[in-house]
Amino acid sequence: MLALARQTVRSSWRGYLGAFVALLFGVVLIAVTTTLIGSVDATSNLPGVTADQRTQLDDLAAMFGMMSAVSAFMALFVVGSTFGFVVASRRRELGLLRLVGATPRQVRRLLLGESTVVAAAATTVGCLLGTMLAPAVLDLVRTIGITTLHLEAPSPWIAWVVAAPAGAVVALLGVWRSARRASRITPSAALREAAVERTRPSIVQLAVAIVCFGGLVTAIVLAADLPPLFALVASILLPEVVVIGLLSIGPAVIPRLAALLARPFVDRDVAARLARDEVRGAVRTTAAVAAPVMAISAIAGSLLLSLSFTADWTTAQDRSRLRAPLVVEAGSPGATAAVAADPTVAVADVRRQVTLQRDEDGRPGSPDEVEIVDLATASTARSLTATRGSIDDLRGPSVAVTTTWVTDAGIGLGGTVAFWIDGDRVPLRVVAVVPDAPDLYGELLIPAGLVPPTTDGPVFVVPHGDASATRDSLRRTLAGTDSRILDASAWIDATAAQTRQANNVGFTVLLGPAGLYAAIAIVNATLIGASQRRRQRELVQLLGASPDQVRRAAIWQAGLVCGTALLLGGATTAVLGWLVRRAITADLAAVPMTIPWLPLLAIGVVCLLLTVSATAAGLSSRK
Amino acid sequence: MNQAAVTLDGLTRTYRSRAGSVHALRGVTHVVQRGTFTAIMGPSGSGKSTLLQLAAGLDRPTSGRVTIGDTRLDKLNETALTRFRRTSMAFVFQSYNLLDSLTAFDNVALPARLAGRRADRAGVLAALAHVGLRDQARRRPSELSGGQQQRVAIARAVYGRPDVLFADEPTGALDRGTGRDVLELLRSLTQGGQSVVMVTHDPLAASFADGVLFLADGQIVGHLARADAGQIAAAMNELER
Ligand SMILES: Nc1ncnc2c1ncn2[C@@H]1O[C@H](COP(=O)(O)OP(=O)(O)O)[C@@H](O)[C@H]1O
Ligand SMILES: [Mg+2]
């Protein structure tokens, strides 16, 4: 059996090369992201890490964790689908094997044997490559400015232990699933040349789809009651769920949708008609090529949209709470004091923060940014008011918290939060819950006098009389101190721009590796699909299609499949965007909506370009 | 000993599809004797291939039953049927008879290997020599002509010595001369006691058989024994009128 496996791998090498490539890069991807997590861990175990560095490391760990999760999903999803596809495309050969006397079990064993050989090779090479790439990736993380810390390289076995088994197991699972179906092929399938592929989903596939879409529907129903930040998290996790659901019924859905998409063109171009028929006939190829496009467009699109909506939300909150008409970004502590001393200034409300360690089981634990507020000024300049409890009680050992923090931490009004201040454990009572306004104040607010502040932020200025008079006066007072004086709305715009900038960096880090992998997977799947359509193409040419018609049909086909996948990815994006939007507007009415059209369109265009150019390359390489 | 190699008893087969039901076979009863060469003829769409597939257990009848030697196929599950097919039947089709990835030698040896037996080298080579391909043993199907591929498939049957060989238009894609070689080979198998059931639409090919069965519209409509090509062609013309 093993000898037979070796020989058949040799003949279906094109498909297996594709599977090899998908798994190889999948393992590299998982190895690299695991290395990043490992490096954060290794660095934080070094002696002499400061509290500030620890905060940075915690943030990095969270970011890399999310990145690994998305990458792992992409890799495993593509690997499973590619291996399954390669098996499914060998119908006729397997039918022939059954005809000459292979039992279903023998067919299964043969397929598993073949794939084990391929998977073992890909996993080994992938892990080696991942280990070699790790130092370069750690350098890259510093170069693009994700962190200023020097990350320690962890020992390489971490990547091996995670990436190798994950990749191999998923590859074999994909094969096992297809092999089970393939082994049930009747021997007479070998006789029917262009057997029409089955599109009806199995019970298991239907069940998976129902569970996935059930989850989505539940989230939609709950959307209005979700805190916006939870909706954001949901919009990162749900696309994966939706994509799995879509792909499990993919062979039934995708070809039909593609045919619908082709409808306006089939009467105008015979190549479009050929492409439409081919997309409908070769359902497995269609679904497999669509898979990576659909996954990346749904995941990236949803993340883009919800990050943008969340930025809209925080900006709207800032705007609705900021009462001060002027904001000064002081260049020095002296400048901050000078603002307060200016005779035209009625209230100078300084944003002040300190990093305190939360109490964890009687010991100083993870650091938190805490806002130190002067009630008298903050209630005027930042309209600091309580939605529950009373902000006036914020004196002595007490703390006010934001609505989001309450949902997040599960501690509400009347509860206790303990911090370590100067070596002592200080319990603070929650006396008020305030609305969120992320750029005006943080999630935890304590009264002045408990601890001295460590950092001064912007000064929110309420003038005695006319704002422009105060601005002129401040401009004179602060001349030469490198300070900036801004109108409230200009300051909010600038802050919003900064948030979006940070979001973009976050987006790039989160999806960069997965996106790169998706690009490889798209090209890979397109090339496998093209090599499997060769016989069909030769037949069409025999029947009198000109080389140009054949080429156009192939391009049409690529466009149709990719377009359909983008349509599904786009629909997922729209639904999840709506979900976040709904959670936001339930929280705060009249939030403006910014749709990042350019990046969204860019995703679509890049996917289309990749599929079409891979198809063109596949065509020309065969001459 | 039972002299019947293949017994077909009241076979019907109805294909159901969205376009409606097709009654491909409407009650076929026939016995193929051991060591004989039977040809099945009929117009296109008359159910010849369907009949062959039912007889070989590649497909299950809607009603009726098939017995090969003393074994009733309806009593066997898929795996048992596969094992039985491995030892008792061989197949030759119009095209695509061989695994592209295997050499002629490995294709001939495959059923034995699937059965968990070692392929005996001399035996496989002898089978290939019988069909005149001793020197092509190491070639793959892509390096063989259509007729040579058919002969490798026959060598597979020679080597395995199954009781029945089923052939569906085995000469359909071959030129006269090559087709003639293939038919001679099929006939030679019956001398060793094996039976051959062959579907064809070519009267000349059918004239190599001991008996010809005429099928029309899913039913047996006639039978000729030891007829020449002219008689068979005349009978076919009668049918197609
Ligand atoms: N898998 C199938 N599904 C539906 N109809 C079929 C199928 N196979 C054959 N048929 C129909 O059954 C009839 C007999 O087919 P077949 O046995 O292939 O005829 P022949 O080999 O004599 O040309 C035809 O009308 C054909 O269209
Ligand atoms: Mg036929």
Strands A416-421 and B211-216: unpaired
Which of A28, A562, A88 lies closest to A295, judged by CA? A562
pLDDT per residue as tens digits for the range A103-112: 888 888 888 8
Please tell me the pTM assigned to this model: 0.78
Can you give the residue ranges of every domain in chain A?
1-196, 203-321+489-623, 331-482
Among A325-339, A345-359, B38-52, the range with the most confident prediction by mean pLDDT is B38-52
Choosing from B49, B168, B197, B220 the residue with most ligand 1 atoms within 8 A of its CB, the one to mutate for a pocket test is B49
A15 CB neighbours in chain B (<8 A) are none
A129-183 confidence digits (pLDDT tens): 988 888 888 888 877 777 777 888 788 787 788 888 888 887 888 788 778 877 7
Residue A366 pLDDT > 80: no
Lowest-pLDDT range of A38-42, A222-226, A318-322, B104-108: A222-226
Closest CA to A404 of A445, A356, A438, A430: A438
Per cent of chain A over pLDDT 70 is: 94
Mean pLDDT of B168-187: 86
* pLDDT tens-digit readout, A209-226: 999 999 999 888 887 777
> Does residue A287 register a pLDDT over 90?
no
- Superfamily of segment(s) B4-239: P-loop containing nucleotide triphosphate hydrolases (3.40.50.300)
Q: What is the pLDDT of residues B37-60, one digit of tens each?
A: 999 999 888 999 999 989 988 888
The pLDDT value given to residue A84: 77
- DSSP assignment letter at A201: P
| Size (chain B), residues | 241
A186 pLDDT higher than 80: no
Q: How close is the Cα of A60 to the center of ligand 2, in Å?
A: 67
- Rounded distance, CA A464 to CA A348, Å? 11
Check residue A194 and give its pLDDT: 45
CA dist B210 and B39 (Å) reads 8
Order across the sheet with B4-17: list the strands.
B20-33, B4-17, B63-68, B71-72
pLDDT digits (tens, 9 = 90+) for A379-420: 888 888 888 888 888 888 899 999 888 888 888 888 889 888
Tokens (6 digits) for A99: 């005809």
Structure tokens at A322: 């900021």
Q: Which of A4, A101, A191 is opposite residue B115, by nearest beta carbon?
A: A101
Q: Which of A340, A383, A387, A374 is nearest to A445 (CA)?
A: A374
* Three-class DSSP labels, A400-432: EEEHHHHHHHCCCCCCEEEEEECCEEEEEEEEE
Interface of A with B in 93-122 (CB under 8 A): 93, 96-106
Q: How confident is the model at residue A198 (pLDDT cuts 50, 70, 90)?
A: low
Asked if A456 has any chain B CB less than 8 Å from its own CB, the reply is no
Residue B58's pLDDT is what?
85
Residue A144's CB: how many other CB atoms inside 10 A?
12
Given a cut of 70, whether residue A535 has pLDDT beyond it is no
Residues 6+ apart with CB under 8 A from B231: B224
**Ligand 1 atom closest to the CA of B43, numbered from 1:** 22
In angstroms, what is the span from residue B201 Cα to ligand 2's centroid?
9
Find the Cα–Cα–Cα–Cα dihedral A482, A484, A485, A489, rounded to 10°: 180
- In terms of CA atoms, which chain A residue is nearest residue B112? A101
Choice between A104 and A531, residue whose per-residue pLDDT is larger: A104
pLDDT mean across residues, chain A: 84
Q: State pLDDT tens for residues B126-170.
A: 999 988 899 999 998 888 988 898 889 889 888 888 899 999 888
Report the C-alpha gap between A377 and A324 in whole angstroms: 10
Instruction: Tell me, yes or no, if B111 comes closer than 8 A to chain A by beta carbon.
Output: yes
Q: Name chain B contacts of A102, Cβ cutoff 8 Å.
A: 82, 114
With a cut of 0.85, is the ipTM above it?
Answer: no
- Decide if pLDDT at A192 tops 70: no
Q: What is the rounded distance in angstroms from the CA atom of residue A4 to the CA atom of residue B119? A: 13
Tell whether A410 lies on the interface with B, counting CB pairs under 8 A: no
Cα angle A578-A582-A588, degrees, rounded to a multiple of 5:
140
* Cβ-Cβ contacts under 8 Å for B75 (sequence gap 6 or more): none
Residue with tokens 């017994």: B7
Q: Quote the ligand 1 centre to B19 CA distance (angstroms).
A: 13
- What percent of chain A stands above pLDDT 90? 19
A99·B53 Cβ contact <8 A: no
DSSP string, A55-122: HHHHHHHHHHHHHHHHHHHHHHHHHHHHHHHHHHTTHHHHHHHHHTT--HHHHHHHHHHHHHHHHHHH
Burial grade of A384 (CB within 10 A; 0-12, 13-18, 19 or more): buried
Q: Which residues of B150-185 are buried (b: 16+ CB within 10 A; e: fewer)?
A: bbbbbbbbbbbebbbbbbbbbbbebeeebbbbbbeb
CB < 8 Å from B in window 194-233 of A: none
C-beta of B45 in contact with ligand 1 (< 6 A): yes
What single letter denotes the amino acid at residue A225? Answer: D
pLDDT at A476 over 50: yes
Instruction: Check residue B198 and give its pLDDT.
Output: 94
- Write out pLDDT tens, residues A496-522: 999 898 888 888 888 888 899 999 989
DSSP string, A575-607: HHHHHHHHHHHHHSSS------HHHHHHHHHHH
| Both tokens assigned to B233 | 């062609």
- In Å, how far are A78, A441, A579 from A583, measured between CA atoms? 32, 22, 6
Given a cut of 50, is residue A623 above it in pLDDT?
no
> What pLDDT, on the 0 to 100 scale, is given for residue A2?
60
Closest residue of chain A to B157, computed from CA coordinates: A100
Q: Is the pLDDT of residue A191 over 70?
A: no
- Angle in degrees, CA A314, A317, A320, rounded to 5: 150
Q: Which ligand is nearest to the CA of B12?
A: 1
* pLDDT surpasses 50 at A493: yes
Q: Is the dihedral of CA A439, A445, A449, A452 positive or negative?
A: negative
Contact of A413 with A432, CB cutoff 8 Å: yes
Give the pLDDT band of residue B122 (cuts 50, 70, 90). very high
Give pLDDT, residue B68.
94
> Which residues of chain B are within 8 Å of residue A101 when distances are taken between CB atoms?
82-83, 85-87, 110-111, 114-115
Q: Where are the alpha helices (DSSP H) in A155-227?
A: 157-183, 203-222
Query: Rounded to an integer, what distance in angstroms lies between the CA atom of residue A420 and that of residue A364?
Result: 6
As a whole number of angstroms, the distance between CA A615 and CA A566 comes to 17
Q: Whose CA is nearest to atom 26 of ligand 1?
A: B45
- In what helix (H) or strand (E) does residue B66 lie, and over which residues does it extend? strand B63-68
Provide the pLDDT for residue B152.
Answer: 92
Which three-class secondary structure state does DSSP give residue B43? Answer: coil
| Residues on chain A touching B53 (C-beta within 8 angstroms) | 188, 191
Across the interface, whether the CB atoms of A92 and B96 are under 8 A apart is answered yes
